[in-house]
Chain A
Amino acid sequence: MRHDHLIGAKQLSRTDIESVLDRAAEFDADPTAFADTRPDTLLALCFFEPSTRTKMSFDAAIKRLGGSATDMGSVDSSSVTKGESLADTMRVVAGYADGIVLRHPSEGAARLAAEFVDVPVINAGDGAGQHPSQTLLDLYTIRENAGLDDLRIGVMGDLKYGRTVHSLAGALTNFDARMHFISPESLALPRNVRFDLHESGAVVKEHTDLDAVLDELDVLYVTRIQRERFPDESEYRAVAGEYRIDADVLADARDELTVMHPLPRVDEIAPDIDDTDHARYFEQAHNGVPVRMALLDSML
């Protein structure tokens, strides 16, 4: 992959994706065998929003490659609270490190950061925008379990604000994937994601009900519906309850169905699915390290 920055999934070609996933498979086979790969590389982790797993997995990935990470710390303790612009913060950090991993609550933050620095910027989530490194590990998990061609995938939950959904949808246009999007109407895909899917000629269907498509899916990608998206508790409960799955719901699914979730989950996937062959979300989370090793190795 030859990009200066990773901002959104739209910039990824099929070749880009496959080369990262192939390299990730090498790392996955023996993650401890590559400590000589990036011995002098320092990665800056700039998380303006709380994160545990994304930050930890980037940290683990650069260390597995023999490099090191420096962490901006929490936003409360940084100069951001003193009103410094993101552009200034990024220019300073770029002077310390060989690459920047950025999570920020505002859409477009990574794109802006990339304009001000000459080290690679990786978007680790920009508000309700994009989360492309998550998408690479999602694709890795899909490839391992269901294959990326002739794929029938359902994506369910908060499709409007879900950045993992936006990036995944964009990246899947590179493959022969039939995409089903399942959500309450108020949380359906945003206009820009729908626009790009349409432009790409992807086969896309939108539903409000999982039953309509469950029995044909190879993969069901579940995301959390957040309380703050609804005006009141009772409306939230009523809607969210419709998009929860448990072993009973999956009784109608194909035996080979792979269930994924970017985690953390709350209760949208019942624990009684965890021990079934459908559950792949912990494996998916595990894949974050080898996939981010491959991503860092290709960009830094």
Chain B
Amino acid sequence: MTDTELRVSKIRDGTVIDHVPGGTALHVLAVLGIDGSGDEEISLGMNVPSDRLGRKDILKIEDRELSADEVDVLSLIAPRASINIVREYEVSEKSRVSRPDEVIGVLSCPNVSCITTGEEPVDSAFDVLDDGVRCRYCDTIVRDDVASLIEST
């Protein structure tokens, strides 16, 4: 076990999300719909030193595995994240996130005059570019700060 991993407690069953860009762990929680009001047990390490990222965040979430949709959006804000599923204190599956082609209904368009921001019966839809996302309705491209587009539910 490395020094970094010691900083946050071990979990029995759940998910460890590692190699998240430093300072963005709270966005990751937002993607997962976790705001602390439920009873999830969560350990967070923020801005811990990392060879690969300089500073990274690491999240450990008890009794929770991620859905495919959640992994898709996670990939947009943490493209180098790794996801370890833990069962009985052992890592039973390890995976890297991969970027999806599109993200439907998760992000909201930052363009205030985009038709999807009004009262229309459609989900938002973004195509994923190499370095950002693009609204399929109004064509707005967002490169930085994709996390800020996550719809609050």
> A: which residues have CB within 8 A of B?
8, 83, 85-87, 104-109, 111-112, 115, 126-129, 191-192, 195
Is the CB–CB distance between A129 and B120 below 8 Å?
Answer: no
Of chain A, the residue at the smallest CB distance from B117 is A106
Q: Is the CB of B141 within 8 A of A108?
A: no
Chain A to chain B: the 5 pairs with minimum beta-carbon distance, closest first: A108-B137, A107-B138, A108-B115, A108-B138, A106-B115
B139 touches A87 (CB 8 A): no
Asked if B120 and A107 make an inter-chain contact with CB atoms under 8 angstroms apart, the answer reads no
28 contacts between A and B (CB under 8 A): A85-B121, A86-B115, A86-B120, A87-B121, A105-B113, A106-B138, A107-B115, A107-B138, A107-B139, A108-B114, A108-B135, A108-B136, A108-B137, A108-B138, A109-B115, A112-B116, A112-B120, A112-B122, A112-B137, A115-B122, A127-B113, A127-B138, A129-B138, A129-B139, A191-B141, A192-B139, A195-B129, A195-B141
Q: Which of B111, B113, B120, B136 contacts A87 (CB 8 A)?
A: B120
Residues in A neighbouring B122, C-beta threshold 8 A: 87, 112, 115
Cβ of B134 within 8 Å of any chain A Cβ, yes or no, is yes
Known: A85-B119, A111-B136, A112-B120. A106 touches B114 (CB 8 A): yes
The range of chain B's interface size is 20 to 34
Contacts of A104 in B (CB 8 A): 115
Q: Which of B103-140 contact A (CB under 8 A)?
A: 111, 113-116, 118-122, 129, 134-140
Q: Given the known A-B contacts A83-B119, A86-B115, are A107 and B134 also in contact in the complex, defined by CB atoms under 8 Å?
A: no
Whether A192 pairs with B137 at a CB distance below 8 angstroms is no
Chain B residues close to A by CB (< 8 Å):
111, 113-116, 118-122, 129, 134-141, 143
Docked CA distance A126–B116 (Å):
13
Give Cα A80–Cα B135 distance, bound, in whole angstroms.
25
Most A C-beta atoms less than 10 A away, residue of B129, B137, B139, B141 = B139
- Most B-side CB within 10 Å, residue of A104, A111, A127: A111
Contact assessment for B134 and A111 in the assembled complex, using a CB-CB cutoff below 8 Å: no
A107 contacts B119, CB within 8 Å?
no
A213 to B48, CA, bound (A): 53
Given A87-B120, A108-B114, 7 further pairs, Cβ under 8 A: A85-B121, A86-B118, A86-B120, A87-B122, A106-B115, A108-B138, A111-B137
